[in-house]
Amino acid sequence: MKSDIRVCSVWEETHERPIYTLSTTCPECGADAVNSAPAPFDPTDQYGEYRRALKRRSR
Ligand SMILES: [Zn+2]
Residue 6: closest CA among 30, 29, 36: 36
**Whole-angstrom Cα distance, residue 22 to residue 27?**
10
Q: What is the pLDDT of residues 2-17, one digit of tens each?
A: 668 999 999 999 999 9
**Ligand 1 centroid, distance to 17 Cα (angstroms):** 9
Total domains in the fold of the chain: 1
Express each pLDDT in 16-51 by its tens digit. 999 999 999 999 999 999 987 655 556 666 666 667
Residue 15 CA to ligand 1 center (angstroms) comes to 6
Query: Higher-confidence residue: 53 or 6?
Result: 6
- Residue 27 is predicted with a pLDDT of 96
- Domain hosting 22: range is 6-58
- Distance from the CA of 16 to the center of ligand 1, in angstroms? 10
Give the pTM: 0.56
CA atoms within a 13 Å half-sphere pointing along the CA-CB vector of 1: 2
Q: CATH number of the domain at 13, please.
A: 2.20.28
Strands 6-8, 20-21: pairing kind: antiparallel
Cα of 34 vs centre of ligand 1, distance in Å, is: 10
